[in-house]
Amino acid sequence: MTRFSKLYERERLTIENRLSKALKNRKPYSLYKPAAYILESGGKRLRPLLVLFSAKAAGGKFSKTYNAAVAVELLHNFSLVHDDIMDNADKRRGRPTIHKKYDLCTAILVGDSLLSVAYEFLLKDAGIKAAEILKSFTHGLIEVCEGQSMDKDFELKKIVTIEDYILMIDKKTAAMAEMCCNIGALIAGASGKEVKALSAYGKNIGIAFQIQDDLLDISANESEFGKFVGGDLIEGKKTFLFLKALEKARGKDKKDLLSVIERKGVKHEEIPKFRELYYKLGVIDDAKSEILRYSGKALAQLKFIKEPEDREFFVWLTDSLIKRSK
Amino acid sequence: MTRFSKLYERERLTIENRLSKALKNRKPYSLYKPAAYILESGGKRLRPLLVLFSAKAAGGKFSKTYNAAVAVELLHNFSLVHDDIMDNADKRRGRPTIHKKYDLCTAILVGDSLLSVAYEFLLKDAGIKAAEILKSFTHGLIEVCEGQSMDKDFELKKIVTIEDYILMIDKKTAAMAEMCCNIGALIAGASGKEVKALSAYGKNIGIAFQIQDDLLDISANESEFGKFVGGDLIEGKKTFLFLKALEKARGKDKKDLLSVIERKGVKHEEIPKFRELYYKLGVIDDAKSEILRYSGKALAQLKFIKEPEDREFFVWLTDSLIKRSK
Tens digit of each residue's pLDDT (9 = 90 or more) over A270-316: 999 999 999 999 999 999 999 999 999 999 999 999 999 999 999 99
Contact across the interface for B138 and A115, Cβ inside 8 Å: no
Tens digit of each residue's pLDDT (9 = 90 or more) over A166-189: 999 999 999 999 999 999 999 999
Query: A94: burial class by Cβ within 10 Å (0-12, 13-18, 19+)?
Result: exposed
**Predicted confidence band at B222 (pLDDT cuts at 50, 70, 90)?**
confident
- The CATH homologous superfamily to which domain B9-190 belongs is Farnesyl Diphosphate Synthase (1.10.600.10)
pLDDT value for B228: 81
**A318 in contact with chain B, both atoms CB, cutoff 8 A:** no
Contact across the interface for A28 and B135, Cβ inside 8 Å: no
Q: Cis omega before residue B272 (within 30°)?
A: no
Residue A153 has its nearest CB partner, among B30, B85, B139, at B30
pLDDT value for A224: 81
Each residue of B263-291: b (16+ CB within 10 Å) or e? eeebeeebbeebbebbeebebbebbeebb
How is residue A90 annotated by DSSP? S
> Mean pLDDT, chain A, as a whole number?
96
Backbone angles phi, psi at B21, to 5 degrees: -100, -10
Contact across the interface for B149 and A86, Cβ inside 8 Å: no
Other Cβ atoms closer than 10 A to A226: 11
Tens digit of each residue's pLDDT (9 = 90 or more) over A24-45: 999 999 999 999 999 999 889 9
Contact across the interface for A28 and B148, Cβ inside 8 Å: no
Residue B142 has its nearest CB partner, among A120, A127, A135, at A120
- Rounded to a whole number of angstroms, the distance from the CA of A257 to the nearest CA of chain B is 26
- Rounded to a whole number of angstroms, the distance from the CA of B240 to the nearest CA of chain A is 20
pLDDT value for A325: 78
Interface size A-B, in CB pairs within 8 Å, comes to: 114
Percentage, residues of chain A above pLDDT 90:
93
Contact across the interface for B30 and A116, Cβ inside 8 Å: no
**Predicted confidence band at B29 (pLDDT cuts at 50, 70, 90)?**
very high
Residue B105 has its nearest CB partner, among A105, A146, A152, at A152
Between CA A155 and CA A151 the distance in angstroms is: 7
Contacts of B199 (CB under 8 A, 6+ apart): B178, B179, B181, B182, B185
pLDDT value for A61: 97
Contact across the interface for A116 and B142, Cβ inside 8 Å: yes
Residue B224: pLDDT over 90:
no
> Mean pLDDT, chain B, as a whole number?
96
Residue B109 has its nearest CB partner, among A27, A130, A145, at A145
**Predicted confidence band at A59 (pLDDT cuts at 50, 70, 90)?**
very high
Residue A123 has its nearest CB partner, among B86, B127, B138, at B138
Contacts of B148 (CB under 8 A, 6+ apart): A109, B79, B82, B83, B86, B172
CB A178 within 8 A of CB A143: no
Contacts of B193 (CB under 8 A, 6+ apart): B304
Complex ipTM, two decimals? 0.96
Between CA B279 and CA B236 the distance in angstroms is: 18
* Chain B residues within 8 A of A135 when measuring between CB atoms: 120, 123
pLDDT value for A250: 98
- In this structure, which amino acid lies at residue A81? V
Mutation target to probe the A interface, by most A beta carbons within 10 A, among B80, B84, B142 is B142
Tens digit of each residue's pLDDT (9 = 90 or more) over A131-157: 999 999 999 999 999 999 999 999 999
pLDDT value for B227: 79
- Rounded to a whole number of angstroms, the distance from the CA of A296 to the nearest CA of chain B is 30
Tens digit of each residue's pLDDT (9 = 90 or more) over B57-85: 999 999 999 999 999 999 999 999 999 99
Minimal-distance CA residue of chain B relative to A81: B108
pLDDT value for A225: 78
* Chain A residues within 8 A of B82 when measuring between CB atoms: 108-109, 112
Count, residues in chain B: 326
Q: What is the pTM of this model?
A: 0.97
Residue A269: pLDDT over 90:
yes
* Chain A residues within 8 A of B140 when measuring between CB atoms: none
Please report, for chain B, how many H helices and E strands are present, in that order. Answer: 17, 2
pLDDT value for B39: 97
pLDDT value for A307: 96
Provide the CATH number for the domain formed by A3-323 in this structure. 1.10.600.10
CB B284 within 8 A of CB B219: yes
Tens digit of each residue's pLDDT (9 = 90 or more) over B273-326: 999 999 999 999 999 999 999 999 999 999 999 999 999 999 999 999 998 878
pLDDT value for A326: 80
Percentage, residues of chain A above pLDDT 70:
100
- Rounded to a whole number of angstroms, the distance from the CA of A26 to the nearest CA of chain B is 9
* Chain A residues within 8 A of B142 when measuring between CB atoms: 113, 116-117, 120
**B298 in contact with chain A, both atoms CB, cutoff 8 A:** no
Question: A228 or B97, which is more confident?
Answer: B97
Contacts of A94 (CB under 8 A, 6+ apart): A226
Contact across the interface for A109 and B30, Cβ inside 8 Å: no
**A154 in contact with chain B, both atoms CB, cutoff 8 A:** no
pLDDT value for A228: 81
- Rounded to a whole number of angstroms, the distance from the CA of A131 to the nearest CA of chain B is 5
Taking a contact as any Cβ pair under 8 Å apart, which residues of chain A between 4 and 43 contact chain B?
26-28, 30-31
**Predicted confidence band at A222 (pLDDT cuts at 50, 70, 90)?**
confident
Residue B142 has its nearest CB partner, among A30, A117, A135, at A117
As a whole number, mean pLDDT of residues A248-262 equals 97
**A157 in contact with chain B, both atoms CB, cutoff 8 A:** no
CB B115 within 8 A of CB B74: yes
